[in-house]
Structure 1
């Protein structure tokens, strides 16, 4: 059973004469746990950032996607987009770090509750951003490809099969929508598993603090 829950139960049962656990001690426990959770959010964010940077650096240029981007003259666009994406991610990591430093010095229940709310919002915005960037990248690439018939043939019909433009567009849209749904589902499950667990623990502390404050 959660240690904080044990303290809460002990506190609720104690008499005024035989007080074993004070409100201040419960607050300190919640504060310590919240600070630890936020630290892990920052650490996981750093590890995730390093993982994607490593994948990007060590993936050979001969890999099919990179070859397709080169053939379609999209390499510069993708590189610019990747750099901007990493800048935004670094911004989120900075916010994670600032959240950790700020929650570590919260000196009362109301301030801690307020900071927990901000941390939850930051993490959720981070998750939504990463999911949105997948959709946005797909849209931008499709706009560039669909604007040029030669690029469209090279991208969606590399085998030069006999089909009309409408058939090619229909087939490409359906296949991409299926792929996009699968990719988004996988990323959502990843973020739900990793950050969701941490947010769930943080939310539990938040509810305990609300009860304590009332």
Structure 2
């Protein structure tokens, strides 16, 4: 049983090289024999087609759930840049990623990013400058040049944002392009991502039958080595 699960895991990685195995599915591949042994359920004979279809359906559900969760979390990482754009465009991009519109969470994001986050960020910035003082440790006060080095290190990361923005602006002016084009998404964004998703779905549909047949062969002949080329 353990060898069969490991072979099924190997098939998954070969059939879906473009998508990492979700943690839940990895645990299913790795620990199913131990769980069945502990519960006293030992599989006998060949699994039915209905059981196999249910297992494939569960695997697909885990993959889709993990994809949506990953897309949902990744969209949070760029929330600072979205303050400079329209929230409607951001919401449309989120709907494209997760495939639906969650009303409660959309309402929460809308008021958080439009009202709460700017107020908290501005308040924190003002408070930091108002209460700013020379850096000291007990009775020792650091030199001014040491503080300057600290400020340079602090702004070295975020300073790249206005630097490249100015570089893009000067390049557009030199080429005679409209500067407003720099504030608009490129042709590869939005529709290009949807085309990539459609291409991935087509590839998955082509591999689904092959994946199904290989799992059937593993269950029917668990002791034989699979010599077919992938």
**Superposed pair shares fold, TM > 0.5:** no
> Relative to total residues, which structure has the larger helix share, 1 or 2?
1
TM-score computed with the length of structure 2 as normaliser: 0.26
TM-score computed with the length of structure 1 as normaliser: 0.27
